[in-house]
Structure formats: C-alpha cells, structure tokens
Chain A
Amino acid sequence: MKSDIELNINGTAKKIFVEQSKRLLDVLRENFLLTGTKEGCSIGECGACTVVLDGEAVNSCLILIGQCGGSEIITIEGLEKDGKLHELQKQFIDKGAIQCGFCTPGMAMSAYALLLKNNNPGIEEIKEAIEGNLCRCTGYKPIIDAVHSAVKELNDS
C-alpha cells in the first residue's frame, strides 16, 4: 500500500509517497538517488547497506520504509559537512582502509554510529562495532586503525 512518509535524511526533511513495504535501501538508492549505500547480500549479513537510523547502525536491506516515519537517517553522503570530510573519512583515506571501496560506506556508518554512543572506544569495541560489516579486501586491520586514529583526533581537538 502506498502512503505518505515523512522523514529526515542527512539533515533535510523529506516527504515521499511510496509503497510501505519498499526496503529502506531501495528508497534511498532509487527515490533519493543516494547510491552510496550498497547492497551485498540482502539478508542482513554483510553490512554494506548500513545507515544510521535514529542514532543506531542498521542494515537498510532489512528495514521497510513503512517503519521509518518520523525517523532521522544518516547515510554516507551525510558525513561530509560544509565540504569538509568527517574525521573518520579522513582517516579511512590516510590509513589505507579502502581498497575496492564497496564495504566502505557501510563500514564508515557503523563506525560513525559507534562514535555517537561512545566517544572513546577501544580496539575491541571498534572490532565489535564493525563485526557485522564484511570486508573481503583489507583484512580489517587498516579499518580498525583508521577508526582508532579518528577517535584520538576527535578527542584531541
């Protein structure tokens, strides 16, 4: 059934008329052309589709848009502010946390959600936060380093 849904995406209020059973992932990619969010498995196992929904990292392939009325959603496109990269993004680049880059948006969003809740996570907490995000290229180590360095930078400044 189609209905009007109001939500906030990357800081902007949006309203769409859409089938309630459409997956959040498809709404982001098709209706809002936010194609940074990726699809790797469609069953909640790979984390490529991770976005932040009301402060929590969620797999957008498992969420229906009907569940999102009134929610605040942040996608990878929303991390950069006023043309400036978020510290996480900067560290991802510098630490070599990106190879093919397909897991990167989901990875960054899981890390971002972690930082929203915990401004000083240790290595184990970082590993746990990205446990649901598969990466076949990097062996995770550069990603963990990047998040760890971002934490340090953010706390120092």
Chain B
Amino acid sequence: MKKDFKYVGKSTPRQDAFEKVTGQAKFTDDYYFPGMLHAVMVRTKSSHAKILNVDYTRLLASAENIIVCDHNDIIGSKKVGPIKKDQPIFCYDKIVTPGDVVCMLVGGDIQELLQSRELVDIDLEELPVLTEPLKALDIDSPIIHSENGNNLINHYPLRKGNVEKGFSESDHIIEQHYSTQLIEHAYLEPEAVIAIPLEGKKGIKILGSIQNPHTTRKVVASVLGLPLTKVRAVQAEIGGSFGGKDDTMNILAARAAVAALKTGKPVKIKFGREESIVESYKRHPYNLHYKVGFTKDGLLKAMKIDITADGGAYSSMSPFVTWRTVVQATGPYQVENVCTDVKAVYTNNPYTGAMRGFGSPQPIFAQESLMDEIADILGKSPLEIRELNGFKAGSITASGQKLVDHDINLITVLNEAAIKSEFDKKWQLHRKNKKIKNFQIEENNNFLLSHNEFVEPNETIQKGIGLAVSYRGCSLGAEGIDAAAAYMSVQQDGSVYLISGLAENGQGLKTTFSIIAAEVLGISPDHIQYLEQDTGIVPDSGPTVASRSTLMGGGAVKNAAEILKSRLKEIVLNFWNVKNTEEIIFTENEILLRGDETKRVSFQEICSLAYSKGVNLAVIGWYKGPNVHWDEETGQGSAYFTYVYGCQVAEVSVNVATGEVYIDKITAVHDAGKVINKLGALGQVYGGVTQGAGYALWEEISSFDGKIKEDNFDQYLIPTSRDIGEIEPHFIEGEDIYGAWGAKSLGEPTLELTAAAISNAIKNATGKRFFNLPINLEEVLLNRKLKPTDLKRGSTN
C-alpha cells in the first residue's frame, strides 16, 4: 500500500468555502427565475380521517389568480416510496398523519396563497387514531393502510444457535426494556425546490435542496409519467441533510413539477421551519427489549432481542433502517446464541426514515447500557467486560459472518480511548464518591427532595465517566445494489473536471474526492473543478447514504484517475522514448522519470500533447463493492463487506438538584480506515458527537395524537455553542483492501455512540441508570417525561 501521501491525510480546506463565507453560495431559495410562481400546501387538522369531499368553489370564486393542484393533475404514479409505494403526492382517499397534503395553491403572491388556504373546504370523516407502536399489531387497532392488510411494515428475524440452551448454560440472566425518542434532523436550511419547465418537449428541470438527485429524478419521472431522461435533477447548495432531504424532497419536487407543467412557469416550494418539522420524516423511536444470559466470568451466552420501530404513517426507509438494526443489534460482541426480531410498524405518527445513524443509535443505547449493567453485576469494569466479549480478528457476528480481511480494531479503539481519557482511574474514583448524603440513590427512586431534605452544596454536582463502543457495516450491505461512478475529464491545459454520482450534502465530499483524484494524478487539488451535481451528466450511483460516499465514490474517483493516469503514461513513454511505465512519477504538477534528472515535463504539457494526438481524456470510473448475501428467514449471511469500529468516552457533571447534565468532555476514537481529509474528518467528529449529545439529553418530538408540538427551535432544542465542553477526536487508521487506499466511513459512527456513552457516564455519576432517551431534566429527577396533554404550549400553536 502506498504510504507517502502528498495530499491524502492532510488538512485541506473545503473547495466551496470561499463562496459560502462570502454569502455568494446559492442555496435553492436564493434562485429566482422570471415569471416564477410559488406554491403553498393545504393540510387538514386531522391525524387519521377519510376524505369525503374536497370543494374548491369558494376558493375559485374569490381568488382568480390561484391555480390548484391535486391528485387529479397526476398522470403517473399517485403514490411513491423507496420500497413500498404507500405515500401519496397529494392525498385523495385518506389522511394518515398531520403532515399530509391534500392540495397545493399556486400563484404569484405568497400572502394571498396562504390566506386562501381557508377557502378550500375539505370534508372528512374522522377515524380512530393509532399513536402507540406497541399496539399497532393488535387485532382491534385501526389499520393505517388498508391495502397492506395490517400495520406491519416489515419483520426481520435473526436466529443463531439455540437461545434456550444458551440461557440454561448462563449463571445470570437479565432482562431490560429501553426506549428512544422521535427526533428531527434539524438541518438549518428548511426544504426548498424549484421546478422549471424546459422548452418544447425537453421535459423539466428540478433545482433543489436535494440529497439524492438520481432518486428525485426517478420519483418525479414516475409521477409525471415521463422517461428518466426528460427529468433533470440538479442540486443547489444544500444547507444540511443528515439523511433528511430524501423522501420529503422527492415528493416536494414532484409537486412542484406537476404545478410547473400545469402552469408552464417555474414553481418554487419553500418550507418555513414549522412546515419543515411537520411534514418531513424523522428518526425512528424504538422500543427495545433485551434478555441476556452470561456466565459468572462475564462471557455472553445468549441474547434474545425484541425491537419495535415506529415507522409512522409511511414506510419510507423503515425496511432498510431496521435491517441495519437486526444485523447490529447484539453490538460488537461475539454471542453464541442469538434470537432477534425487529419489526417496523405503521402508526398515525409523523413518518420516520433515514437519519444519520440509520437504525444504529437506538440498539447501541440499549446494548451498551446492558454491557455496563453486566459489568456492575459481576463487579467488573466496563473495559473488562468489553475486552472479554468484543470482536477480534476471526470473531463470528450474530449473522454468522466471520470478520476477516480488515483490521478488526475494536479492542484497539477501546484501549486507546481508555488511555487517552484515563478511564479506569476516573471511573473507579467517581463510583466511590457517588454516595450522596440525605437520600439514598436507588433504581426507580427519583432525586426529588422532600421538605426536610437537602443536598450538601458541595455534593450538588456529581461527576461521572462512561464509554460505549460500536462496529458498523460500511455502505449499503445486503440492503441494496452497491456500485458508484465518477466522471473525470482532463482539459488540454491540465485542469480537470470531476463529478461523482454521489452528492455533496454539506459533508465535504467534493473536497474529499478532489483530494483522491489529485493524489493519483500528482496535481494540486485546486486544479480540479468539481461540477454541479446534475443527473444529466453522471451515472446513477445509488443514494448518498450509509456513510458510503468516501468508500464507494472515493473508489470510483480513484479508478477514474488511474485510467487517466495510465493513458497519460503512454503518451509520456513515447515522448521520452522509454519502456518502463513503473519509473514514471506524477508529482507536484509534473511528471518525472525515476533516476534520470533530465526527464521532467509539466502535467499541462503532457495533457496538451495527449489532446493534440486525439487521446480520449474523459473517463467514467466505476467501483463495485464485493458481493454480500443475506437469508431473510434466518437472518444469516455476510451482511456487509467491511466494518468500522469506534469508542467514545463521555465525562459529565450532573446537578442532582436540578437534573441538569453538563458534558465536560467527549473523547472519540474512530477507526474509519484511511483518513482522506483530516480537516473534514475532524469536522465529522465534532458535528456527529454534538448531534449525539442532543439525542442523549435534549432533543425530542413529543407528538400528541400524531400532532407535533415542538415545531420550531424555541421548543425543539438542538445543542448551542455553550452546551458541550471539549471534544477530543483520535483516529486509528486500520488497513483495508477496499475503496481508495482503504478509506471507509466516519459520518455516522461519530454520532451513534454518544448517547450510550453519556448515559453510562450519568450512571457513574449518580448511581442511577436511565432507560429512556432523552435523559432530560424530567427524566433525571422524576424518572419519566412530562408529556403534553394538549398542544396549547408553544409559540405557534
């Protein structure tokens, strides 16, 4: 493997930073086209109802300039969805969640459009509302989608060994229930899209804040009944996504496209924050039940796991999200006997889909809490129990996959994190100090003081430390077709166009890919011009999800650059009249011949020579992951072709009088394979950990009868600059044969561990364990959440 990198592994500032820091970068809402119209959504106040009639008489009588679009305007598919086609573009038979849209008003004056929504008369027959996922499969529960027959979206079983036998061989068995909450992506830029009808029969162009332009194209084409080539989806700058600008954006694009074709004018849809939170999908709340058997030495013998994910009103990505859960539910531990069942169900709650983490933060919270509990029972340290059971080279996963072909660095990241944070020493110390006078902390006991109790002022703040580890399958795994493309074209002056089929979502993909191409060609990354993401110029490469872009897209870029390099080498050979391509070196915008000082030519000169000789310097690079397989019935198979490993240590201060938790420090150690851009990688860790902390302590959408209360940032609290102390990232670069020099995934691992580590730290600080996220003030003090009994609180309701 190549070791002396020129650009890879260094800190390279983002390619698009200049435009962004000067205010010139154009996000969707910054575009204006002549004659452009706006569109606003018409929703009902219902969570579950039959639509009896929609009457536009009053609207049409008073507002002449307004054009209505509803399901009658759709020629192609009226319902869409990545797996099951269950989500209508415009609802026509039923309302199944409050975000649902019946029709859209289109016109030039937004204020007029907003006011005119009242003039649409929608006649509904209310139906019983289902909000409790654990009741979704009860025989007497209302059915959300009658064509589905019941409320089951999917069920994944996994069977390995014999759990009953495993339990009988165990010295201890514990059973625990955990729950995690519904949360919002909270990308800073709300949804926005513009559909522009093209001249004549050219079709339509979509410009928007879209995560996966090729998916958007597919959805829009199916709704319009057009061939894929008649829909061009182009990405504007995207103000954050985190997995969130997929389904919702595809549907908004389709609505805008329908309106644009109907009116013959460009149509813009722009959501405000409230609308964004109400209609967009979220992260799945999970109910997790774990039964674990282990020996007196701490060896895991059996795990029985039952998980129910609330998919909300539409299936969206639930089947893929929960598939990752079933693969990773036991955590990075070798367990002989496993019986896991993961179900996703429909309810009338806001629908859930892809969000950074994608079915992993939930089981990690459960399984990492459990590992600490087991350690507690046996009087071991959190490190010992993990070292004993954690994956090593050759370990067998729950799905029967033998871990080989890459550095199985779980124990390495664990030990590195423990050393860097002085874990053992601090953990023992805080544990000893945790006795708080005047009230004895016990499980299920709350911290509320009664009249004659008080906490000694010096004992109000309790410190604690906790850790969590994880492994994560890279890319799509047996979930989908795993291949990616990159297009590269070298110009006669040596400058280079580059684009991959995977899309920039703000994470810094353009810079990462430019570094990879620059490294291969020995030119500076700023000689590479990354093109706008446009479905018209680059092949479909599957979605930009699952932290797969560096691995898959990076592999494709490297492939493209290598093809070009070999073509250029041929030119150089003839130019110098030498034989051995091995001796030709591309570096610092020059080409040299090893061992011959006189042979030196600029990259530019060779490119112009190639051009004059008619050599094709435009190529499509391709990267396809190795085959993986999965048996749906038994949950056995090689789920992913490679894995990454991480460990995070949280240090917290808990105010036992107020229930407030302050994060003093997070030490994050990740093996993401080769790091391509240090600056970008650090940014992924800081950002991911911060989102993980929000998930642990503050963020929650508490819907009431399916309706959302926290619909803006005054109620939905994401971390601010003052909420988190220090974050200390470390990278272990395990070697891997896949992708570009073994560069794998980082975006999601950084976020999935944090809540579990924080929860374990709170236990170390207070002696009390928490089973339900978020661990907010109410949870810490009362062991429960103060749920709203109506929607009156809040700024906008």
User: Which A residues touch B575, using CB under 8 A?
Assistant: none
Query: Does A35 contact B23, Cβ atoms closer than 8 Å?
Result: yes
Residue A67 lies at the interface, judged by CB distance under 8 Å to chain B: no
Query: Does A131 contact B720, Cβ atoms closer than 8 Å?
Result: yes
Shortest CB-to-CB span from B14 to chain A, Å, is 6
Which residue of chain A has the shortest Cβ distance to B681 in the bound complex?
A: A96
Shortest CB-to-CB span from B668 to chain A, Å, is 11
Question: Complex formed: what's the CA distance from A32 to B505 in Å?
Answer: 28
Which residue of chain B has the shortest Cβ distance to A130 in the bound complex?
A: B721
Known: A100-B189, A100-B240. A139 touches B724 (CB 8 A): yes
Shortest CB-to-CB span from A93 to chain B, Å, is 4
Count residues of chain B with CB under 8 A from any CB of chain A.
58
Shortest CB-to-CB span from A98 to chain B, Å, is 5
Query: Does B721 contact A140, Cβ atoms closer than 8 Å?
Result: yes
Query: Does B23 contact A105, Cβ atoms closer than 8 Å?
Result: yes
- The residue from A29, A43, A93, A139 contacting B687, defined by CB atoms under 8 A apart: A139
Question: Complex formed: what's the CA distance from A134 to B714 in Å?
Answer: 12
Query: Does B187 contact A41, Cβ atoms closer than 8 Å?
Result: no
B24-32, B171-179, B367-375, B515-523: which lies at the interface: B24-32
Which residue of chain B has the shortest Cβ distance to A91 in the bound complex?
A: B21
Shortest CB-to-CB span from A86 to chain B, Å, is 9
Shortest CB-to-CB span from A10 to chain B, Å, is 11
Query: Does A46 contact B727, Cβ atoms closer than 8 Å?
Result: no
Question: Complex formed: what's the CA distance from A135 to B724 in Å?
Answer: 13
Question: Complex formed: what's the CA distance from A46 to B717 in Å?
Answer: 11
User: Which A residues touch B26, using CB under 8 A?
Assistant: 35
Residue A16 lies at the interface, judged by CB distance under 8 Å to chain B: no
Query: Does A142 contact B682, Cβ atoms closer than 8 Å?
Result: yes
Shortest CB-to-CB span from B241 to chain A, Å, is 8
> When each residue 49-69 of chain A gets 1 if its CB lies under 8 Å from chain B and 0 otherwise, what string results?
000000000000000000000
Query: Does B188 contact A136, Cβ atoms closer than 8 Å?
Result: yes
Known: A38-B239, A40-B189, A96-B680. A45 touches B23 (CB 8 A): no
Interface of A is mostly: loop
Which residue of chain B has the shortest Cβ distance to A128 in the bound complex?
A: B722
> When each residue 117-157 of chain A gets 1 if its CB lies under 8 Å from chain B and 0 otherwise, what string results?
00000000011101111111111111110000000000000
Query: Does A137 contact B506, Cβ atoms closer than 8 Å?
Result: yes
Query: Does B22 contact A99, Cβ atoms closer than 8 Å?
Result: no
Which residue of chain A has the shortest Cβ distance to B666 in the bound complex?
A: A139
Known: A94-B13, A144-B721. A138 touches B22 (CB 8 A): no
Query: Does A98 contact B17, Cβ atoms closer than 8 Å?
Result: yes
- The residue from A29, A34, A41, A135 contacting B713, defined by CB atoms under 8 A apart: A41
> When each residue 36-48 of chain A gets 1 if its CB lies under 8 Å from chain B and 0 otherwise, what string results?
1111111101101
Which residue of chain B has the shortest Cβ distance to A44 in the bound complex?
A: B714
User: Which B residues touch A77, using CB under 8 A?
Assistant: 22-24
Question: Complex formed: what's the CA distance from A132 to B690 in Å?
Answer: 16
Shortest CB-to-CB span from A29 to chain B, Å, is 8
Known: A93-B14, A104-B21. A137 touches B687 (CB 8 A): yes
Which residue of chain A has the shortest Cβ distance to B23 in the bound complex?
A: A36
Shortest CB-to-CB span from A118 to chain B, Å, is 16
- The residue from A75, A105, A136 contacting B240, defined by CB atoms under 8 A apart: A136
Query: Does A45 contact B721, Cβ atoms closer than 8 Å?
Result: no
Residue A115 lies at the interface, judged by CB distance under 8 Å to chain B: no
Instruction: List 9 other contacts, CB 8 Å, given A34-B23, A38-B239, A99-B240.
Output: A37-B23, A43-B713, A77-B22, A89-B21, A96-B679, A98-B14, A104-B20, A139-B683, A140-B724
Q: What residues of chain B have their CB less than 8 Å away from a CB belonging to chain A?
A: 11, 13-14, 16-27, 29-30, 185-190, 237-242, 272-273, 505-508, 679-680, 682-683, 685-691, 712-714, 718-722, 724, 727, 795-796
Q: What residues of chain A have their CB less than 8 Å away from a CB belonging to chain B?
A: 29, 34-43, 45-46, 48, 75-77, 79-80, 85, 89, 92-94, 96, 98-105, 108, 126-128, 130-144
What are the 10 tightest A-B residue pairs by CB atom distance, in nearest-first order? Answer: A36-B23, A100-B506, A102-B239, A139-B686, A101-B20, A76-B23, A139-B690, A45-B713, A35-B30, A93-B17
